[in-house]
Amino acid sequence: MSKAKDAAVADTTGKDTAGEPLLRVEGLVKHFPVKKGLLQRQVGAVKAVDGLSFDVHAGETLGIVGESGCGKSTMGRLITRLDEPTSGRIEFQGHDITHMSAGKIRPLRRDVQMIFQDPYSSLNPRHTIGTIVGAPFKLQNVEPEGGVKQEVQRLLGLVGLSPEHYNRYPHEFSGGQRQRIGIARALALSPKLVVADEPVSALDVSIQAQVVNLLDDLQDELGLTYVIIAHDLSVIRHVSDRIAVMYLGKIVELSDRKSLYERPMHPYTKALLSAVPVPDPRRRGLKSERILLQGDVPSPLSPPSGCRFHTRCWKATEVCRTVEPPLIQLEPGHEAACHHPENAPDQIPDDTTVLASAREAIALVGDAVAVDPAVAEAGESAEAPKTVGTAKSEKTAGTAEAPSKGLTKE
Ligand X SMILES: Nc1ncnc2c1ncn2[C@@H]1O[C@H](COP(=O)(O)OP(=O)(O)O)[C@@H](O)[C@H]1O
Provide DSSP, 217-243: HHHHHHT-EEEEEESSHHHHTTT-SEE
For ligand SF4, which is the closer residue by CB, 56 or 337?
Answer: 337
Provide DSSP, 342-381: TTS--SSTT---B-GGGGGSEEEEEHHHHH-HHHHHTT--
112 CB contacts (<8 Å, ≥6 apart)?
79, 80, 81, 92, 191, 192, 193, 194, 195
Stretch of residues binding ligand SF4 (CB under 6 A), selected from 14-22, 48-56, 334-342, 383-391: 334-342
Q: How far apart are CA 165 and CA 155, in angstroms?
A: 11
Stretch of residues binding ligand SF4 (CB under 6 A), selected from 58-66, 76-84, 281-289, 303-311: 303-311
Binding mask 38-57 for ligand X (x = CB under 6 A): --------x-x---------
For ligand SF4, which is the closer residue by CB, 108 or 307?
Answer: 307
- Cβ atoms within 10 A of the Cβ of 174, count? 12
Instruction: Let me know how long the chain is.
Output: 410
Q: Does 73 bind Mg ion (CB under 5 A)?
A: yes
Could you say which residues in the range 307-326 bind ligand X, by CB under 6 A? none
For ligand SF4, which is the closer residue by CB, 236 or 265?
Answer: 265
Q: Does 68 bind ligand X (CB under 6 A)?
A: yes
User: DSSP state, 142?
Assistant: -
End-to-end CA distance of the chain: 26
| 71 touches, from Mg ion, ligand X, ligand SF4, none (C-beta below 5 to 8 Å by class) | ligand X
Total residues interacting with ligand X, rule: CB under 6 A: 12
Q: How far apart are CA 119 and CA 126, in angstroms?
A: 14
Binding residue (CB under 6 A) for ligand SF4 from 231, 250, 290, 340: 340
Binding residue (CB under 6 A) for ligand X from 21, 59, 63, 69: 69
Q: Does 300 bind ligand X (CB under 6 A)?
A: yes
Binding residue (CB under 6 A) for ligand SF4 from 310, 393, 403, 407: 310
Q: Residue 245 CB, nearest distance to ligand SF4 (Å)?
A: 11
Binding residue (CB under 6 A) for ligand SF4 from 272, 316, 327, 371: 316
Per DSSP, what are the bridge partners of residue 254? 244, 335
- Cβ atoms within 10 A of the Cβ of 324, count? 17
Q: Does 231 bind ligand SF4 (CB under 6 A)?
A: no
Provide DSSP, 88-106: EEEEETTEE-TT--HHHHT
Phi-psi region of 386 (alpha: psi -120 to 50; beta: other; left: phi over 0): beta
Q: Does 303 bind ligand SF4 (CB under 6 A)?
A: no
Q: How far apart are CA 373 and CA 366, in angstroms?
A: 11
Q: How far apart are CA 396 and CA 59, in angstroms?
A: 45
Q: Does 255 bind ligand X (CB under 6 A)?
A: no
| 313 touches, from Mg ion, ligand X, ligand SF4, none (C-beta below 5 to 8 Å by class) | ligand SF4
Residues that bind ligand SF4 (CB under 6 A): 266-267, 307, 309-310, 313, 315-316, 320, 325, 338-340
Residues that bind ligand X (CB under 6 A): 32, 46, 48, 66, 68-74, 300
Residues that bind Mg ion (CB under 5 A): 72-73
